Structure 1
Amino acid sequence: MTVARTVELEGHIIDSGMMQRCFGVVMDLGGNFDVEVFDVGKHKDEESYCRMLVTADDEESLREILHELHQSGAHLPDPPDATLEPAPANQVVPHGFYSTTNHPTQVRYDGEWLPVENVEMDCAIVVDPDADGGARAYTKVLNAIDGGDLVVTDEAGVRVDPPERPRDSNSPFGFMQGGVSAERPSESLIREIADAIEETKADGGSVLAVAGPAVVHSGAGDALARLVREGYVDMLSAGNGFAVHDLERGQYGTSLGMDVETLESPRKGHKHHIYTISEIIRAGGIEEAVEQGLVEEGVMYECVENDVPYILAGSIRDDGPLPDTITDSVEAQNAIREQAHEADLVVMLSTLLHSVAVGNCLPSTTRVVCVDINPATVTQLLDRGSAQAIGMVTDVGTFVPTLADQILDES
């Protein structure tokens, strides 16, 4: 005996691939579908609509199919209110809680759709019926759950709207349709990224740079510092290593002991990074070192001088670390999350771990560029769910100076 459920698809479901993806989900999971209504938008600005009956051999199989369809943007007709259950204790969610995607999400409460605030993947949704101004829905990471929080369970009453493929290649970030590529012409793609950054700034948006030590090693630190100084980077997310090597570059002209200009390793150059850390600790931190004249150039210097907030998240490998480095991993996560939610465009520069960490905190509506000489970095970012990211496989030492020239020399 089969079981069945009706689902609906709305929007640009043909050219965005949503309809094909949903058909594939049903068949791959052993179900069947019968398209009952299919209204095709006749112009590129018109939306399409599909209602289909999904059948499966048993309830468990149908639930699995409906779960996957839900992630792709399908929804139930006449949905009920979301099911809310109180969290039994701090950091403990109810069984069957709804785990979020990074797509724009709504929950149905008291017959109305509430937009979910601060959307990011792998969180719970909490509804506060007594919030000022009316009921609110927002995400919470599991370690932030308080006992008694009303947590959304199951998928009934939850609606997900994955971003659709841009319909006009001339629209902002319309070029971001190709995933990872080492084949597309670098110069033209960098020009388009520069245009996107300029448009973001012109619209009053914020640009977040996520930088790895390779930016300094490759000689691109001066160009990134220039972008910070000229106001095209509003926030910086990095690790202890990036900051140390940037500061070392300013004090000794070396990065990890190697002269960035001559590529030679001066005597005792291998100790420069630890000497740098010692001096910054002695000064009391990066800002204090700038105020005392110990640091007079570099990315971190420009961040301090231009009031650009930065987050340095530590790891088990860090030397020192610097006083500014957040060593508590949960505290670092929360700081990265708060910063990421403010970004309108993110440029990730040769750092696998920080790119994935920041990507996990971003809604799918935030535009992302990930640049690395290793295509696996971008592939892993996409595999983790940041499907909106475009990957550019190139040397960051070439990319950042070219990007700075495109933005600053032609503005």
Structure 2
Amino acid sequence: MTVARTVELEGHIIDSGMMQRCFGVVMDLDGNFDVEQFDVGEHKDEESYCRMTVTAPDEETLRSILHELHQSGAQLTDPPNARLEPAPADRVVPNGFYSTTNHPTQVRHEDEWIDVERIEMDCAVVVEPDERRAYTKVLNAIEAGDLVVTGEAGVRVDPPERPRGGSGPFGFMQGGVSSERPSASLIREIAEVLVETKADDGTVLAVAGPALIHSGAGDALARLVREGYVDMLSAGNGFAVHDIERGVYGTSLGMDVETMEHPRKGHKHHIYTISEVVRAGGIEPAVEEGLVEEGVMYECVANDVPYVLAGSIRDDGPLPDTITDAVEAQDAIREQAHEADMVLMLSTLLHSVAVGNCLPSTTPVVCVDINPATVTQLLDRGSAQAIGMVTDVGTFVPALAEEILD
């Protein structure tokens, strides 16, 4: 005896590959489909619509098919209200809770769709019925009694689509990674998006790794901060240490950034730098007393650009500004990610993935690294809205700054 449900797809379902993907899911999971209605958008700005009945040999198979279709943006034609269950204890979610994607999401409550606020992947959805409000919570923030969405019934996901012609201000950002792309033209397009984001009062977040300083691109990033094109910085203890070390000693991890030489006792410069900043009481006091007079961290302090320095187990020092509690650091990164309208991820795998996990799929992301695996890993972890450039960050950042400022 077969079981069946009817689903619908709407949007740029042909160009984005959504329809083909959904057909494949049904067949791969031993189901069948019958297309009842198919309306094709005849112009590039028109959407298409498909309604189909999905059949499966049993309920379990049908649930598996509907789960995969749900992830691709297909919706039931007769959606029920979302099922809410109270959390049994702090940091404990009900069995079968709905685990979010990073796509715009709605939940159905009392026969109305409610937008889920602060969307990010791998969270629970909490509903406040009296406020008619739904929002995400990470598992360690769940409190006993929170009404948590369980199952996928009554949940609607809207994955980003690619309209015909890749139109729109972020049309060229369609994901993927290649070292064969024309870097100059791509940098020019990224610069245009960044300028447009700022013109629309948007917020730009830079996620930076120590390699940016080692490669000599620190001055260019500092210039972008000074001129107002970077509004927030997310980095680690190492980035800040080497940036300040360069300003104080002219070296980064003991290497002269200009001559590529290793001066005598240069290997001690980074630990000397940490000691001096600790003695001053932190980065901001070090700037105020004149110890730090240039660099990215200097420009952040001088221009009131907030920064988050997340620590790791291998940090030297660390600097007083570094957040060493992992959960506290995650929360600080999460606040930045939710405020960002565009993100530049510059040569740092761990911090890029950490920020990427907190971003909704509607936030444009540019990820630059000389190692293709870094860029690929970010995209593989769900940041499908990211565009990847496999290139030297020491070339990319100065070229971007020159395109914007000169």
For normalisation by structure 1, the TM-score amounts to 0.98
Which residue in the other structure is 1:190 paired with?
Answer: 187
The correspondence for 1:328, drawn from 325, 337, 345, is: 325
C-alpha separation in 1, matches of 2:147 and 2:196: 40
State the Cα deviation string for residues 72-105 of structure 1 (Å, max 9, x = none). 1001012111000000000000000000000000
The correspondence for 1:145, drawn from 142, 150, 167, is: 142
Which residue in the other structure is 2:123 paired with?
Answer: 123
Q: Which runs of 4+ in 1 moved over 6 A?
A: none
- Confirm whether residue 206 of structure 1 aligns to residue 203 of structure 2: yes
- Confirm whether residue 247 of structure 1 aligns to residue 240 of structure 2: no
C-alpha separation in 1, matches of 2:210 and 2:159: 34
C-alpha separation in 2, matches of 1:16 and 1:170: 13
State the Cα deviation string for residues 162-184 of structure 1 (Å, max 9, x = none). 01114344521211125101111
C-alpha separation in 2, matches of 1:27 and 1:285: 59
State the Cα deviation string for residues 27-71 of structure 1 (Å, max 9, x = none). 222211111111111112221111111112211111111101001
Counterpart residue identity of residue 37, structure 1:
Q
Which residue in the other structure is 2:83 paired with?
Answer: 83
Which residue in the other structure is 1:6 paired with?
Answer: 6
Which residue in the other structure is 1:103 paired with?
Answer: 103
Which residue in the other structure is 1:20 paired with?
Answer: 20
State the Cα deviation string for residues 249-304 of structure 1 (Å, max 9, x = none). 00000000000000000111001000000000000000010001000000000000
Say which SS state the counterpart of residue 180 (structure 2) adopts.
Answer: coil
Name whichever of 3-12 and 312-321 sits farther off.
3-12
C-alpha separation in 1, matches of 2:187 and 2:70: 36
Cα RMSD of the aligned pairs, angstroms, is 0.9
Which residue in the other structure is 1:297 paired with?
Answer: 294
Which residue in the other structure is 1:378 paired with?
Answer: 375
| Correspondence 1:12-411 to 2 at 5 A | 12-131=12-131, 135-169=132-166, 171-409=168-406
C-alpha separation in 1, matches of 2:283 and 2:60: 56
Counterpart residue identity of residue 358, structure 2:
C
State the Cα deviation string for residues 4-33 of structure 1 (Å, max 9, x = none). 111110111111111011111112222111
C-alpha separation in 1, matches of 2:286 and 2:175: 44
Say which SS state the counterpart of residue 20 (structure 2) adopts.
Answer: helix
C-alpha separation in 2, matches of 1:284 and 1:177: 44
5+ long unaligned stretches in structure 2: none
The question of whether the paired residues in 1 share the 8 Å contact of 2:126 and 2:134 is answered with yes
Name whichever of 8-17 and 116-125 sits farther off.
8-17
5+ long unaligned stretches in structure 1: none
C-alpha separation in 2, matches of 1:130 and 1:310: 36
Say which SS state the counterpart of residue 209 (structure 1) adopts.
Answer: strand
Name whichever of 367-376 and 173-182 sits farther off.
173-182
Say which SS state the counterpart of residue 54 (structure 2) adopts.
Answer: strand
The question of whether the paired residues in 1 share the 8 Å contact of 2:175 and 2:384 is answered with no
C-alpha separation in 1, matches of 2:59 and 2:324: 47
